């Protein structure tokens, strides 16, 4: 068996979580068009004949303004320490950015401490002219020494099989750490909370998605039914008003969409109850962050 841990890093919004889901063939990491959607390390187990890849998706590396974000960046940094191989993701849609260079600096430090293969993944090639990819490869080759440079589309699945093939070549021999059916180490409660947070990210704007956190108050399985009660925390009354929406419409839409995805993912009927509460300054509050699982 070829097996090992691969940590996926990059600046926010380049498509890391989309790639994790593409490699698993199942959505376990939430995705949105906004940066900093992912707040914790998400483990996915990629099963292929003769190989098992433990893939760690991470929050985007950025300059943090809140204690929450400091923890997010620290989480990403720490996840690189356990990797046998690193994926560094950038976008094909433009030239290398300052944010990418900051990621490379961190990765270079990691590799100096413990040399390992490092792949550059140039994502979102589906939206650029093929002719623009070669000059990009040249630009990135000048910035760092890469074991492989792999253009991909996480969204369309382009070149993803090739990426897996190359990855397996560089992984050590060993015993598979997870069972054949295991997709993730996240418990159902955590997946449920994340799906609710994803719908909030998709349906609210500006500060609201960033000021929201989700806590599962109760999760009961009764045969083929899951009864879930969850609280959405926001920082201000005005944000609570937005999340509830006119006549409760937004909260209802969040609940319905999250529930439908939970039912598909869990293979069960779901009964979901949502509350919204204000917890002022939770993003800066060490105790609140611990309680919310950050």
Q: Provide the edge-to-edge strand list for the sheet that holds 269-278.
A: 213-222, 225-234, 269-278
Query: Which residue number, 33 or 175, has a Cβ lying nearer to ligand GDP?
Result: 33
184 binds ligand GDP (CB under 6 A): no
Q: Is 16 or 199 the residue whose CB approaches Mg ion more closely?
A: 16
77 counts as binding ligand GDP under rule CB under 6 A? no
User: Residue from 38, 110, 123, 159 that binds Mg ion (CB under 5 A)?
Assistant: 38
- Category of 3 on φ-ψ map: left (φ > 0), alpha (ψ -120 to 50) or beta: beta
Residue 80 near ligand GDP by CB under 6 A: no
Choice from 6, 9, 14, 136 touching ligand GDP (CB under 6 A): 14
Name which of 89 and 228 has its Cβ closer to Mg ion: 89
Q: Please report how the helices 188-203 and 249-266 are oriented relative to each other, as an axis angle in degrees rounded to 10.
A: 140
Tell me: does residue 40 bind Mg ion (CB under 5 A): no
Nearer to ligand GDP, 42 or 51 (CB): 42
Q: How far is the CB of 196 from Mg ion (least distance, A)?
A: 16
Is 154 one of the binding residues for ligand GDP (CB under 6 A)? Answer: yes
Q: Interaction with ligand GDP in 232-291: which residues (CB under 6 A)?
A: none
Q: Which of 3, 17, 80, 110 binds Mg ion (CB under 5 A)?
A: 17
For 109, 234, 258, the CA distances from 8, given in Å and listed in that order, are 16, 29, 26
Out of 6, 9, 31, 195, which residue is the one contacting ligand GDP (CB under 6 A)? 31
What is the per-residue binding string for ligand GDP in 88-127, x denoting contact by CB under 6 A? Answer: -----------------------------------xx-xx
Select 39 or 240, whichever has its Cβ closest to ligand GDP: 39
Binding site for ligand GDP (CB under 6 A): 10, 12-18, 31-33, 37-38, 60, 123-124, 126-127, 153-155
Binding site for Mg ion (CB under 5 A): 16-17, 38
């Amino acid at each position: 068996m070829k097996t090992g841990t691969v940590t996926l890093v990059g600046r926010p919004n380049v498509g890391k979580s989309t790639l994790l889901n593409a490699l698993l063939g199942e959505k376990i990491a939430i995705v949105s068009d906004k940066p900093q959607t992912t707040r914790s390390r998400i483990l996915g187990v990629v099963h292929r004949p003769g190989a098992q890849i433990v893939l760690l998706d991470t929050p985007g590396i950025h300059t943090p303004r809140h204690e929450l974000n400091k923890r997010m960046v620290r989480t990403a940094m720490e996840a690189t320490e356990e990797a046998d191989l690193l994926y560094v993701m950038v976008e094909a849609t433009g030239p290398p950015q300052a944010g990418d260079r900051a990621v490379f600096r961190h990765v270079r430090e990691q590799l100096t401490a413990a040399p390992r293969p490092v792949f550059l993944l140039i994502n979102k090639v589906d939206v650029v002219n093929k002719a623009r990819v070669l000059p990009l490869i040249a630009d990135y080759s000048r910035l760092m020494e890469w074991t492989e440079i792999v253009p991909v589309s996480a969204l369309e699945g382009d070149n993803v099989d090739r990426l897996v093939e190359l990855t397996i070549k560089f992984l050590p021999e060993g015993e598979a750490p997870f069972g054949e059916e295991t997709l993730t180490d996240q418990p159902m409660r955590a997946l449920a909370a994340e799906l609710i947070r994803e719908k909030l990210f998709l349906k609210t704007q500006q500060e609201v998605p960033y000021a929201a956190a989700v806590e599962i108050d109760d999760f009961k399985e009764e045969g083929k039914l899951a009864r879930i009660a969850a609280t959405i925390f926001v920082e201000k009354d005005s944000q609570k008003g937005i999340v509830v929406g006119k006549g409760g419409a937004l909260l209802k839409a969040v609940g319905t969409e999250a529930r439908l995805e939970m039912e598909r993912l869990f293979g069960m009927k779901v009964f979901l109850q949502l509350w919204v509460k204000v917890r002022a300054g939770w993003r800066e509050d060490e105790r609140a962050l611990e309680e919310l699982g950050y």
